[in-house]
Amino acid sequence: MKRREFLTTSLAVAAAGFAPRSSRAADGLVEILVNEPVGEIAPDLHGHFTEHLGGVIYDGIWVGEDSKIPNVNGVRKELIDHMRHLKAPVVRWPGGCFADSYNWRDGIGPRDKRPTNTNFWANDRPLWKAPDGPQKFETNTFGTAEFMRFCHLCGSEPYLAANLRGLTPADYDGWVEYCNSPAGSTTLAKIRAGDGSADPYNVTYWGIGNESWGCAVEFRRWISWVPTYGLKMRYIASGPGMAADNAGEEWTRGLFQELNAKDRRFLNRIYGLSLHYYCWTAGKGDSLDFNVDDWYQVLLQSDLMDSLLARQWVVAGEFDPEHKVKFVVDEWGAWHRGKPIDPRYLFSYVPSMRDALVTGITLDIFNRHAEKLAMCNCAQLINCIHSPFIAMEEHFAATPIFHVFDMYKAHQGGQSLRVVASAPPISFRGPSEPERRRPTPPANDEERSFWGLAGSASLHGKNLVVTVVNPHASEQRTADVSLRGASARSARVTVLAETDIHAHNDFDHPHAVEPKEEPANVSGSSFAWTFKPASVTKLEIELV
Ligand code: AHR
């Protein structure tokens, strides 16, 4: 049979897993071009995002030193353990929208002296039905020192988002001084010592605003004379929110034009351009109650990240041909509605296998665009949108999203390689109009199509890591896996797959969805592999 000739799925063999190439016909292809490197996969592409929103901080992360919930200096212990296991490289804080209303001065000094003020999200209607608490009125118990403690315990770097809307550049300089001035050198350094750290935190990732659409020129004003304390500061400029029907190219063009107009060197001072992209079914459907068309619709929406990055890159290249400015996708994920984890937790819901596949599709896209990306942050870490973790009081569960991050951490620091994957496309019914936030979803009235297999690969010396998503809700795909320019000695295969696409973990069943190892007798430069329906697969291949 010719390599690119696809047979119908009825010819696919029954058992998933490895089979010698000659014994079966392939209905797909996964070709890894070992001699075509794309760029290094920065570990920071596996970053996370935390905001003072609903149950993210209180009591997702912070339970307090006196809590009966196991904690390390007030931080939920199970979360720390899982973050360390993930090798979570970086965490963004304190928002999001909250960041542009946050005064960092409210969150320093003795905790019992900190003010309580109205949370940015307080006006959200479900919140007014909820009991009072930090989700409505922010106690500032969790401030800069507590966030640094959290990062330190997790082994992650802090990425702080400064308030561009409500504060001034001088206020921002003050926050840098609180974080980074040498021990004992300034009044703020002494306050920091009282908060638990005489030594500076040496924060270098600084976001200047969040979704500050309209404040482009402010960026220049803000980063002009920041005290650096000898550190190489990495400023992240607020870029566009990308949507299915609008890649936000005009925003990027406007920002780069404006920065270039005064002095071309300003572009060199931007470490990254922040991009946000959320996917959803039209009208933001339920997280667990969805049909097969909704399944494909969300996966297709998540896949748009691929073209959105490519389009943004073209615009950036018009002004920055050497591409010194990389992208920082500091908010991404699938955003659904659903039964909240706790009524007080705004935007919380239980994620399913659908969200696991969104994670695999997105992380594969990031790998394939490794040369463009400096950092990415999944939104948000716990009890919120697209969360790897859910927690309430002493209950805790890692979601299928966590398991995909865990599988993909093997890519961190590797050399991304070009991958060509194909399989028969999948047809489904979807809305004809662009999927925008709207109260009434449009009808699924059009025939839509989605790819049959996709993935990414990274090289780490003699080890090759290949990840592949089979989005088909019910059919397996047998693919001819070809290593162009290399040969396999052995492989270890891990699969996250469920027959029910709604499968999920919750407090009663925290281990319902977990990846499993599959036996793999793989060798040579070409072999067949059967990818289970609705699955994410990782092949860790030792090369000859
Ligand atoms: O993640 C929730 C919100 O979505 C963030 O606060 C904001 O930046 C984005 O619009």
Q: What integer is the mean pLDDT of 211-234?
A: 82
pLDDT band at 4 (very low <50, low <70, confident <90, very high): very low
Q: For 143-157, 220-234, 270-284, 439-453, which range has the lowest pLDDT when averaged over its residues?
A: 439-453
Per the prediction, the chain carries an average pLDDT of 91
Round to the nearest angstrom and report the end-to-end CA distance of the chain: 27
Summarised one tens digit per residue, pLDDT across range 120-178 is: 999 887 788 888 888 899 999 999 999 999 999 999 999 999 999 889 999 999 999 99
Among 98, 164, 165, 211, the mutation site with the greatest number of ligand 1 atoms within 8 A of its Cβ is 211
Q: Which atom of ligand 1 is nearest to the CA of 96?
A: 6
Among 276, 378, 383, the mutation site with the greatest number of ligand 1 atoms within 8 A of its Cβ is 276
Give the integer Cα–Cα distance in Å for 230 and 233.
9
Helices 292-319 + 353-368 axis angle, to 10: 20
Note the pLDDT of residue 16: 40
Q: Quick count: other Cβ atoms within 10 Å of Cβ 519?
A: 10
Q: What percent of the chain has pLDDT over 70?
A: 92
Q: Which atom of ligand 1 is nearest to the CA of 99?
A: 6
Nearest CA to ligand 1 atom 3: 96
Note the pLDDT of residue 218: 82
Note the pLDDT of residue 11: 30
> Is the pTM higher than 0.85?
yes
Among 48, 51, 92, 98, the mutation site with the greatest number of ligand 1 atoms within 8 A of its Cβ is 51
Q: Which atom of ligand 1 is nearest to the CA of 331?
A: 1
Q: What integer is the mean pLDDT of 308-326?
A: 95
pLDDT band at 38 (very low <50, low <70, confident <90, very high): very high
Between the CA of 97 and the centroid of ligand 1 the distance, in Å, is 6
Between the CA of 432 and the centroid of ligand 1 the distance, in Å, is 26
- Residues 268, 324 contacting (CB under 8 angstroms): yes
Q: For 27-31, 277-281, 445-449, which range has the lowest pLDDT when averaged over its residues?
A: 445-449
Token pair, residue 7, equals 């047979």
Give the integer Cα–Cα distance in Å for 326 and 324.
6
Q: What integer is the mean pLDDT of 222-237?
A: 91
Q: What integer is the mean pLDDT of 8-24?
A: 39
Token pair, residue 17, equals 């897993």
Query: Regarding predicted confidence, which is higher, 485 or 265?
Result: 485
Note the pLDDT of residue 261: 80
Nearest CA to ligand 1 atom 9: 96
Note the pLDDT of residue 3: 34
Nearest CA to ligand 1 atom 2: 96
Ligand 1: residues within 6 Å at CB?
Answer: 51, 95-97, 210-211, 331, 379-380, 385
Note the pLDDT of residue 247: 83
Between the CA of 96 and the centroid of ligand 1 the distance, in Å, is 5
Summarised one tens digit per residue, pLDDT across range 450-491 is: 999 999 999 999 999 999 999 999 999 999 999 999 999 999
Nearest residue to 200 via CA among 166, 246, 231, 160: 231
pLDDT band at 333 (very low <50, low <70, confident <90, very high): very high
Give the integer Cα–Cα distance in Å for 413 and 40.
6
Note the pLDDT of residue 216: 64
